[in-house]
Amino acid sequence: MPENCIYIARSSAIAARALAGEMMVMNSADSTFFTLNEVATAIFQAADGHTALRDIVRDQVCEQFDVDPEQAQADAEQFVAELSSHGILLVSSQPLSSEAP
Amino acid sequence: MAAAQKVVCVEIGGIPIALSTCDARFLDLLRQRYDGFLSSSRPEFELQFDLTRTGPASDDDVRVRRDGDEWLIERGDFHARWDPRTGRGSVRQNANPYSLDSVLRILHSLILAQRGGFLLHAASAICDGRAYLFSGVSGAGKTTMTRLAPADITLLTDEISYLRPSADGYAAFGTPFAGELARAGENCTAPVSALFFLEQGPENRVDELSSAEAVRRLMRNILFFAEDQGLVEKLLATACDFVARVPIRRLTFYPDARVWDQVRKFARDFQEVPQHA
């Protein structure tokens, strides 16, 4: 397994709803609210805890959107870091059990 | 012997809440502050006040969280417990009316969240039998819109709008929670015709908002404090439902009375060409 392989899962402490191609996400701990664009939504929905981020980027992002793979991976890592800092996504170097509601 | 509790019933948004206290001066404060919203209805809920030394309202962040079956509501100037099963709660606070308003607003936000309604940072007013909401950040023009309102407009609030689902959409209710206008709204209700997000500009115009943008703006302006997964899910569902059922627009306005002509024009145009027919 590559050193930088990370796994992501949606926190159970959130509410999420899809609307007009965007995902609305609210953290129940502090009521912070986020809207995710289509690419971010694809990553968020694939965050099952046992699919590696690089596989999500390859299968969900690069397959569906016209993006450079390296740039997509870098953007995805930045997006994951931001959402994990707000408790929306859980991140681990090991597979996680999904907490998705 | 303990002093006798005296009770006033305050009914906001059609939800009567009994407020009880042993302190005669605090009782007078309650009667004066919520004059126009006092009710003889049978209370659905009850709050008992235990007063501490008088002091200013606090700027601390409020925390609203579950403690077993009860809600625990805390800020620097008050500490409250409320049990939604019995509908009863207690409040320790000073006699500051702003603390009192805060406790009541939070309690209503919890009750409304369960019932598919919400409190919104918005002015609201009734025009030709329909309610119009004007929301935005502080300084966007909520109080200005109410000051510019013609004489035939009924003010519901210049600060905190009270919204509940109804058979054909949502209804807005007047509230005693005043902003810069320092005047309580009228205690009446009307079906919501539209929500405008305010921005001041060189001319009056109404623009469409995408549903995603409407939900984003709505969520930014809903008063909600509870750290609770179930209520957060319900609130987000309510916001999406509101956006699906109520026209939401951006209202750019130049602050003079002509902006109300624009609101009336929107109402006429929208009724003539229903967007969801």
| Prediction ipTM score | 0.74
Q: Is A49 left (phi over 0), alpha (psi -120 to 50) or beta?
A: left
pLDDT of residue A99: 56
The pLDDT tens digits for A18-51 are 888 789 999 888 878 899 999 999 999 999 999 9
How many residues does the structure list for chain A?
101
How close does chain B come to A54, measured CA to CA in Å?
29
CB contact under 8 A, B231 and A13: no
- Residue finishing a domain among B115, B142, B159: B115
Mean pLDDT of B183-189: 93
**Structural domain spans, chain A:** 7-92
Q: Write down the mean pLDDT value for chain B.
A: 92
The count of domains in chain B is 2
B108 in the same domain as B173: no
- CB B120, CB B139: distance < 8 Å: no
**Residue B89 within a domain:** yes
| In B55-204, beta strands by DSSP E | 63-67, 70-75, 78-83, 88-93, 118-127, 130-135, 154-157, 160-166, 169-173, 189-200
- pLDDT exceeds cutoff 80 at B165: yes
Mean pLDDT of B84-99: 93
CB contact under 8 A, A24 and B216: yes
Mean pLDDT of B103-132: 96
- Residue finishing a domain among B67, B84, B115: B115
pLDDT of residue B190: 97
B89 in the same domain as B148: no
Q: What's the pLDDT band for B227 if we cut at 50, 70, 90?
A: confident
**Residue B239 within a domain:** yes
Q: B18: how many CB neighbours lie within 10 A of its CB?
A: 20
B231 DSSP 8-state letter: H
B183 in the same domain as B254: yes
- pLDDT exceeds cutoff 50 at B240: yes
Write out the CATH class of domain A7-92: alpha beta
B123 in the same domain as B260: yes
Interface test with B, best of A26, A36, A37 (most B CBs within 10 A): A26
- pLDDT exceeds cutoff 80 at A4: no
CB contact under 8 A, B229 and A12: yes
Mean pLDDT of B191-217: 94
Top pLDDT among A84 and B55 is at A84
Residues in chain A within 8 Å Cβ distance of B216: 24, 33, 35
- pLDDT exceeds cutoff 60 at B50: yes
Residues in chain A within 8 Å Cβ distance of B237: 15, 17
pLDDT of residue A98: 56
B183 in the same domain as B56: no
Q: Which residues contact A19 (CB under 8 A, 6 or more apart)?
A: B211, B212, B215, B240, B243
B130 in the same domain as B111: no
pLDDT of residue B53: 75
- Cα dist from B164 to A7, B117, B118, B124, B179, whole Å: 42, 4, 7, 14, 21
A:24-43 residues touching chain B, CB 8 A cutoff = 24, 26-31, 33, 35
Least confident among A45-54, A78-87, B48-57, B79-88: B48-57
* CATH label of the domain that carries residue B229: 3.90.228.20
Q: What's the pLDDT band for B152 if we cut at 50, 70, 90?
A: very high
- pLDDT exceeds cutoff 50 at B140: yes
- Residue finishing a domain among B115, B139, B159: B115
Query: Number of A:B CB contacts under 8 A?
Result: 55
pLDDT of residue B4: 84
Question: Domain containing B84: what range?
Answer: 6-115
B242 in the same domain as B105: no
The pLDDT tens digits for A48-79 are 999 999 999 999 999 999 899 999 999 999 99
Q: Which amino acid is at B196?
A: F
Task: Sort A27 into a burial class: Cβ within 10 Å, 0-12 / 13-18 / 19+.
Answer: buried
Percent of chain B topping pLDDT 70? 96
**Residue B1 within a domain:** no
B257 in the same domain as B156: yes
Minimal Cβ distance to B233: which of A15, A29, A31: A15
**Residue B198 within a domain:** yes
B164 in the same domain as B245: yes
B173 in the same domain as B256: yes
- pLDDT exceeds cutoff 70 at A2: no
CA-based nearest residue in chain B for residue A20:
B212
pLDDT of residue A29: 81
B103 in the same domain as B151: no
Q: Is the pTM of this model over 0.90?
A: no
Mean pLDDT of B184-194: 95
- pLDDT exceeds cutoff 80 at A82: yes
CB contact under 8 A, A28 and B231: yes
B266 in the same domain as B172: yes
